[in-house]
Structure formats: structure tokens, C-alpha cells
Structure 1
Amino acid sequence: MTTVAVVPSSTAVSARMQRQRTTGTDPELALRRALHTRGLRYRVNRAPVRHVRSRPDIVFGPAKVAVFVDGCFWHRCPAHGTIPASNRDWWLDKLERNVERDRRTDALLDAAGWTVIRVWEHEDVTAAADHIEREVRTRQTGGDQTPASRASVRSRSRPSS
């Protein structure tokens, strides 16, 4: 894969991109509040496995459940993802690398025995919290933890593209 050098289209665009939050976004905070209200306790922005560089937004350590709250733009949501007109080739390459990294991270965590749940920023918070709570409670009580069960949880959360 060839990386295209980025040239900011303007200083205003460059400044705006530098202000983008990577943690503590509104969708993430809403989901964390909903999970906390249900009595679920978790860690935030913590690496569950040493050799995995990406950090989940929410980590349920004992249950081995990692939750990522993915932004529609940065992770190429099939319903809402867009490609900027300026520097289009660079953005296509950048966003595709993000998706590839997500898939690698999912595979590494899955191989280490973790369940990965990806939630789009636009998803209903209550429905996402229901899904996460079911998975965490099932794993806490020693429910089905085979790779096939983990894959089914992931596919409901994030359709492959």
C-alpha cells in the first residue's frame, strides 16, 4: 500500500483536525453512563493485551469484553461515512488503513480470548448498552466463550464492509 503525502488544504482545516477528540467523545460518554447506571464497572482507554496497540474505549477486564465506539467518518460507516473532496486520495488511503487496523485489532483480541464489540457513534445508546450488558453478564457467569460465539457478537455490532 502506498501512502500519499498529506498536504492540508488550509490552516483552518489543519487546526480543526488537530482539535478532534480521540477519547471522551459524546457518544462514548453516553454509552459509559448507560453502562454505569446498569451497575457495570469498566476501565477506560486501557490496553487489554500488551501486544495490541489499539486501546478499546471501554474494557471489562474479568469478562474479557472490549468495546470500541467508532466514529462514522473515521471508521467508514456504511450508512454515514463520507470522503472529503479535498485530498480525496489521501483520505481514501487513511480511512482504509483505519478499517484495516480495526480488523487486525479485532483478530488479535479475538485470538487472545477477548470478545470485541464495535458500536457506531449513531447507534441507539440503550440498544448498544443492552447488547454489551448481555455479553458481559454472560461472560461473567461462564457462558459460551468459543471463538464462534465471539464472532457472532462482533458481526451483529459491525457489519463487515
Structure 2
Amino acid sequence: MSGLTCEQAATLISGFMDNELTQQQQQQLHHHLAECAGCQSELKELQGMREQLRNAIPKFDDGQLLAKFDKDKPSRWVFIAGWVLVLTTLSLLAIYGIFSYWSDESIPMALKLVTSSLGLGFLLLFGAVARQRWIAAKNDRYKKVQL
């Protein structure tokens, strides 16, 4: 005998299906499976169920779906208009907030300068990172690779 009980082998079978076993555990399981027809049938049944689940998932080509989205002009215009509205509104709110903050005489000038320089620093860092990401996205050699 391999030294494994069928209960221990059942636990290892689950790990084997998920590629989580060590080499020693795999060897113990293979020795047990060579001797135990019940565990062999359990493994085959689980592998069959996994294959059925894989086949049950509908398959479609992401490239075709994205191409449909790109060709849908009304959807594209709504998307652009939505972003323009959001960015315009956020910009106006930011301008109003900055104006209100600087108009408030109860806040010391030193605090206004420190917080404003901190905010400006974060804004510059965000802009630098966004620019780098934009350049990287435009020059990505693998963006058309489909897995």
C-alpha cells in the first residue's frame, strides 16, 4: 500500500486538481491512485466535471466586442459628453473651493500658503504620473496582443 488512506487521498486530489501539491504529495497520490480504483474514479469524475464547467462558459472574442463599441458613434459621443460634463463640473467646484478658501479671512495666510503648496505639489505629481501612463499606453507594443 502507498501509506495514504482514501480520506487523505481525497484531500490530496482536491489539491492536485488545483496544482497545489508538493512533489512528495504528488508522488504519494500517484502511488495511491495506482492501487485504488475508487480514488481513480473519483479523480476522473472531478476532472470530467471541471471540463464540463469549462465547456459551459460561453466563449466570445473580446476583440469583436470592442470593435462594436468603437463603431457605435452615439455611444462614443455620450461617453465623451459625460466626461466633459464631469470634468467641467469638477473644475468649477475646485475653482469655487479655492476662491472660498483664499477669501476666508479667519484662516492664517501661512496655513493658506502651506496647504496650497501641498495641493499644488500633489497636483503636479498626479499630472506627471498621468502623462507617463498616457505615453506608455500610446507606445505599448503589446496592446494588440490577444490572449
Q: Give the TM-score range, shorter chain.
A: under 0.3
**Which structure: greater helix fraction?**
2
TM normalised by structure 2 equals 0.25
Which of structures 1 and 2 has the bigger CA Rg? 2
TM-score, length of structure 1 as denominator length: 0.23
**Higher RCO, Cα 8 Å, sep 6+:** 1
